[in-house]
Amino acid sequence: MRGNITVYLRGGIYRLESPFELTEADSGRNGFQVTYRSYPSEEEVLDGSKVITGWQPHSSPIYKANIGPAWKFDSMFENNVRSVKARYPNTQGGASVYNRVQMLVAGSDKTKFGFANEDIPVIANSADVEAFVWPGGAQGFQYWFS
């Protein structure tokens, strides 16, 4: 290199199939630097998300799309707004509703607990369940684990 270099990324959405990685080879040599920045007055997005297509009506107002068994994700966006993740029990009139743990299984290190039979509906495949636990308590602890 015989001088500093500025690499401008033009505006737009760049969908990435793998992580965008820079190494020391991308930072310059011979005492010169490489700078990466947005093109003036333009906005770019490096997007590692995947687009879900093939949506079909399930039962109003629910839609479904087949994404296959290997695709795991925790967040979904619709029109750039994070979607609300389905949960049970659902909210009622805007108020949060929770089930209460009835017993802890000794020695399970927070991986097993008991609940009242009527609290949770029958689930075809319990391996598909994700449980979020909020210890709550009189002191108002507010942290989650899953």
pTM for the structure as a whole: 0.53
**pLDDT score of 54 more than 90:** yes
Pick from 32, 47, 62: which residue ends a domain?
A: 47
Let me know: does 24 contact 34? Beta carbons within 8 Å.
Answer: no
42 and 92 assigned to the same domain: no
Q: Which domain holds residue 145?
A: 87-146
Q: Is residue 82 part of a domain?
A: no
Q: Is residue 124 part of a domain?
A: yes
- pLDDT band with cut points at 50, 70 and 90 for residue 37: very high
SS3 76: coil
How many structural domains are present in the chain?
2
- pLDDT band with cut points at 50, 70 and 90 for residue 113: confident
For residue 72, CA distances in Å to 21, 67, 75, 128, 140 come to 22, 9, 10, 11, 32
Q: Is residue 13 part of a domain?
A: yes
Q: Is residue 53 part of a domain?
A: no
142 and 93 assigned to the same domain: yes
Let me know: does 101 contact 113? Beta carbons within 8 Å.
Answer: yes
